[in-house]
Homo-oligomer: A and B are copies of this chain.
Amino acid sequence: MSILRWQSCRIERGFPNGNLAAALSSCSREIMDTIKGEQLLAQLNWRYATKQFDPTRKISPEDWAALESALILSPSSYGLQPWKFIVITDQKMREKLFPATWKQRQILDCSHYVVFTVNTKMTEEHIDRHLARTVEVRGGTVEGLNRFREAMAGDLVTGVRAAQAHEWAAHQAYLALGNFITSAALLGIDTCPMEGFNAEDYDEILDLTAKRLTSVVCCAAGYRSAEDTSALQKKVRFAPADVIHIV
């Protein structure tokens, strides 16, 4: 389909600047499939932090595949993806994690429970793995990326930000969380972002420390229960003028 549209794009638009880059760029805009602002806001308004999930409703394999892809497609600083997304579907494991989740029932009742984990520190090994993957996807050689490698390692492994590399990674996890919540809302899937859990307990129960990972934040996903009265509460946001400053 994209080939067809690419061809029709060539025919309709020609090559404005006579070069492939320009043609591709203008064509990639043609094959977009955007939504309107009203639709975006309808879903962002529909979304709320679900307190009570319907335990009988599961996210379909198709929708979950889309959400998994959305997680994978999350942007990250340098593209380094310093994360693993642990999806807890096993009910026994959920019950194990329940006390460490301040006994919030979302972990038991939701369809998919995601633990956002990040590398405890940034290593040259991780950077090299990313560069090897870059060559695998884009071609070229790892040597050709050496300047990029030095920049990243000099920043996050040996540089000023090395000591805060865990915090840097946590930031990326929250960015992925924001993408996940909004993506889910657009598909009509409820979520509840959760900071109320004991990260040390999670790391032990999920055997993360041995994998040099640590849990940062969680998100329950599924469908709101009809009994969740918090769904009826009006959204509270500061007035726009208190939050947005135009300079």
Distance from A235 Cβ to chain B, minimum over Cβ atoms (Å): 7
In the assembled complex, which residues on chain B have CB atoms less than 8 Å from the CB atom of A244?
A: 68, 71-72, 84-85, 87
Distance from A100 Cβ to chain B, minimum over Cβ atoms (Å): 14
Q: Does the CB pair A32–B21 fall under 8 Å?
A: no
Contact with B along A60-78 (1 / 0, CB 8 A): 0011011111111111010
Docked complex: A77-106 residues within 8 A CB-CB of B:
77, 79, 81, 83-90, 93
Q: Once bound together, how far apart are the Cα atoms of A49 and B79, in whole Å?
A: 10
Q: Does the CB pair B183–A40 fall under 8 Å?
A: yes
Distance from A177 Cβ to chain B, minimum over Cβ atoms (Å): 6
Majority SS at the chain A contact face: helix
Distance from A2 Cβ to chain B, minimum over Cβ atoms (Å): 9
Distance from A46 Cβ to chain B, minimum over Cβ atoms (Å): 5
Q: Is the CB of A176 closer than 8 A to any CB of chain B? A: yes
Given that A75-B181, A87-B246 are contacting pairs, would A130 and B236 also be in contact in the complex, using a CB cutoff of 8 Å? yes
Nearest residue in B to A139 (C-beta to C-beta)?
B234
Distance from A132 Cβ to chain B, minimum over Cβ atoms (Å): 10
Q: Does the CB pair A245–B84 fall under 8 Å?
A: yes
Q: Is the CB of A34 closer than 8 A to any CB of chain B? A: yes
Docked complex: A35-58 residues within 8 A CB-CB of B:
35-47, 49
Q: Once bound together, how far apart are the Cα atoms of A97 and B117, in whole Å?
A: 34
Q: Once bound together, how far apart are the Cα atoms of A245 and B72, in whole Å?
A: 12
Interface size class of A (residues with CB under 8 A): 35 or more
Q: Is the CB of A108 closer than 8 A to any CB of chain B? A: no
Given that A181-B75, A217-B171 are contacting pairs, would A33 and B37 also be in contact in the complex, using a CB cutoff of 8 Å? no
Q: Is the CB of A8 closer than 8 A to any CB of chain B? A: no
Distance from A131 Cβ to chain B, minimum over Cβ atoms (Å): 9
Instruction: Among B39, B90, B242, B243, point to the contact of A71 (Cβ < 8 A).
Output: B243
Q: Once bound together, how far apart are the Cα atoms of A67 and B238, in whole Å?
A: 16
Q: Does the CB pair A243–B37 fall under 8 Å?
A: no
Q: Does the CB pair B238–A40 fall under 8 Å?
A: no
Q: Once bound together, how far apart are the Cα atoms of A96 and B90, in whole Å?
A: 54
Q: Does the CB pair B46–A188 fall under 8 Å?
A: no
